[in-house]
Structure 1
Amino acid sequence: MSVQSRPWITDDLVLFQDSIRKFIERELVPHEERWCKQQQVDREIWRKAGEVGMLCASIPEEYGGGGGNFAHEAIIALEQSRAMVTSLGTNVHSGIVAHYLLRYGSEEQKHKWLPKMASGEYVAAIAMSEPGAGSDLKSIKTRAVREGDHYVINGSKTFISNGVHADLVCVVVKTDPAKGTKGVSIVVVETKDAHGAGLAGFRRGRVLEKIGQKGQDTAELFFDDVRVPCANLLGPEEGKGFYQLMQQLPQERMIIALGALGAMERALEETTQYVRERKVFGAPLLDLQNTRFKLAECKTNATVARAFIDNCMAKVLRGELDPETAAMAKWWSTQRNCEIIDECLQLHGGYGYMMEYPIARLYVNARAGKIYGGSNEIMKELIARTL
């Protein structure tokens, strides 16, 4: 389904979509295989993305952004997913971190960091997960202890997208462990000091090797007596971090749902074309009833997903999307995405297992969707609490 036919799309967004698609095809697609092998993108691509308005598209112009809204981020997520270019972590950078800063940052923080993110001078990450705390954010152990006008941070984070290139990291910490969730805060860490040298006590661990999304650098981060100005606290006071996370995670989950939608639609396109051309017993594979029925099921599921996500998008743009509906969109779309791609791979036969075929790359990239942004089991728990 073309982006133009979606009910939340305006004429201006159609033009934006066209420019983003052309940039992806010109600057990202040709390098995706190489980036997957080196487990990270070239640093310069961030600057190029900034030049064409692909970064911070939904951030106000006064902070260096594109002046758009979440629909712009949705188009970027859909187009990257459709093109199978998962290496450039714009969703985390622009769709997530930038909005933490916009929503909770002081004017000084916003003017200091957002323009650098919009230009690609800074790459941003958010550090939530730890070796012993993934979806259970209440169990994080990273501490930030106040000493004078600085916080001293100790702890480690893992599965951090954009971790290798990150110049700016929103670190979820405990500022008062005795208060439980009310003792959680977010402190923004610039990974270089005022002289451009690496920040003392901050280390990047190994790039984690994944089964899919191999070019999206995912790293471990270590904080050993890292000193950060107290002015880098996100929000006016300590203890608001858990609230901030709960407020912003629905948008992250919508981005994940949009990515799943783009992938399942690409899988259907690839498989429909393949079964038309592939001959079995002297006739196209599409002539077999099983093939037609399987694709009919896949198309129906993708159409339902599209309708649900379009409905969610309308709510997002009206400011009406509630957390439980976002959780529904995230788990349902990522689950259906994996199922649809699995069926489509099966119709490719042995060729579906070969990485030279797009369906194989879609298959390995899809699986993480059921885990990140809060596992699907957690999504169901959030939904169940509203019953």
Structure 2
Amino acid sequence: MYKVKSFSVFIFLSMLISIFTGIRLPDVGRDTEAYIEYFHDSSIDDGFYDRFEPGFSLLMQLLSKAGLSVEVFFTCVAFIITVTYLYIFKRTYKHCFLDKNPSTSIITIFFSLLLFSSWYIASTTNGLRQGLALVFLYLSLLEFFYNSHKLKFVFLFVIATLFHYSSILILPFLALHYLRFRFVFIIWVLVGLGFALGVNELGVKLISETFGLPIYEYVKYYSLEKGSEELGGGMYEGFITSFFIYTILWPLILLFVLKVKTPIKEKMINTENVYILLKIYFSLSLVYFVMGFGPFSNRYALFSWMLVPIMQIVIFRLSIRLQTEKIIPLFFLFSSLVFFLYLRLDWIRFIK
């Protein structure tokens, strides 16, 4: 009962964070001003507003034509992403740890990691469509990899796709579910090397030309579609060493932690399910390794980066006795709140 009540506190805290995110200034988030304009356009559009994917357009149009403000729309988007991600964390924890339900200290640390995460603020202030899609995509992958519930997977995957079509890119990598972890790891390493060496780009180009698909052109010339005057004019072009290292860092740390055997750890975790979590992360990061050769490669990296806070809490849970140190989680939460409000949402400008 106590754990249920403590989780409810974080739902309430999620609402507060979502409200603060919703009333942010127009210059917080690179695309906030554009979304404000889109929201206004959807309110006066006579028919269905088809500027975006159907799910996102429907959500925007329902709120705008109901006479609600764009701040309410931003708040709703942030709240859906935050609460759904909290639920994903709780489900993942139940699979990976034998105590099933995270303590208040663990939830506190996790929520703090979420507020510190660059990918959370990006998903709630800039990449709204992909942020909404990813939380439903993660839910669908949990059903597929852990429970083999294909109908639930399809239902949640369709919802994810209705918010952002890029969710479809994960489909070829679902086959990893049926392979032993050792083979999945080898595939991940080889495809990662192929990305670093430029081999994957050649492979996507060959497949596109062979089957007459526009995949290569869409990825390679995305900067032109976004208004750049020349090829290569977009941000984050192709392979970026820091992006690549960040992507492979967290699963490698988790693998190292898993390999260090201790009697306490063996009584704490379901090792097989932690390896399944790594499979999910590998599947998501393969999207980046295969499709990240063009500009704005971070939009493909976000597939796996958004999962990093959950990876981090698993690492911390296996490395630190969070249960007994109450002051540390509270300090961590306070620091993350200050960081999120004053730096991420730029409240610091009001005290200068």
After TM superposition, the score normalised by the length of structure 1 is 0.28
Q: Per residue, is there more strand in 1 or in 2?
A: 1
Q: Per residue, is there more helix in 1 or in 2?
A: 2
